Amino acid sequence: MTKIRYGVLFLALALATPVAIRPASAQMAAEQSADTWPEADPADVASIDAIIAALYDVISGPAGEARDWDRFRSLHLPQARLIPTGRNPSGQFGHRVMSVEDFATQSGPLMEERGFFEREVARTTERYGDIAHAFSTYESRWKADDPEPFQRGINSIQLMNDGTRWYVVTIFWAGERPDMPIPERYLDSHP
């Protein structure tokens, strides 16, 4: 029950945090500025395995430890989107569309205050040329040594390669629920 409550709490915070509404042209200009977007460490973006490992690594850490949000940004296209989905405590389905900056500034403080560790436990990847889709099964813990995760789920990660490196385009995720267990086929594949 605790596992479900914390998962619902985290999702509720992600879905409930207000997003500042900016004019589309201003938002696009801010997100597309290559001059201000951080460069990635080539090792982080050299392969699908590397970029997904970096993605989990950069958001994980103990309470009180600042995350490297420039590293996080560097893994994504400036226009990338992060979209949590799920049901709120009253059972209504919801989603929230965030920019990379929204996620870093609005979800980051909770991770840094509370501690947050997420790791990939299985992955199914499809690739066609320079695009790829990964169903990345995850487990989330408040502390690295917690015996049980407070949440499991699937990150649907869309990636593209521009000929020199991989980029995260979208992360669309859903947490496991009692009425929606993770299918075995997404627990058996190893990254």
103, 31 contact by CB (below 8 A) = no
Residue 144: the pLDDT is: 96
Output the CA–CA distances (angstroms, integers) from residue 88 to 67, 80, 135, in the order listed.
27, 25, 23
Tell me the average pLDDT across 45-64.
98
Query: pLDDT digits over 76-110, tens only?
Result: 999 999 999 998 888 899 999 999 999 999 999 99
Tell me the average pLDDT across 168-190.
93
Residue 191: the pLDDT is: 64
**Domains in the chain: ranges and CATH:** 1-16+67-178 (3.10.450.50)
Query: pLDDT digits over 15-48, tens only?
Result: 444 433 333 333 444 454 667 899 999 999 999 9
Residue 7: the pLDDT is: 45
Residue 33: the pLDDT is: 60
pTM of the predicted model as reported, rounded to 2 decimal places: 0.82
> Residue 136 half-sphere exposure, CB side, CA atoms within 13 Å?
26
DSSP 159: E
C-beta pairs of 122-127 under 8 Å, 24+ apart in sequence? 122/186, 122/187, 122/188, 122/189, 122/190, 122/191, 123/52, 123/189, 123/190, 123/191, 124/185, 124/186, 124/189, 125/48, 127/48
Residue 89: the pLDDT is: 80
Query: pLDDT digits over 123-178, tens only?
Result: 999 999 999 999 999 999 999 999 999 999 999 999 999 999 999 999 999 999 99
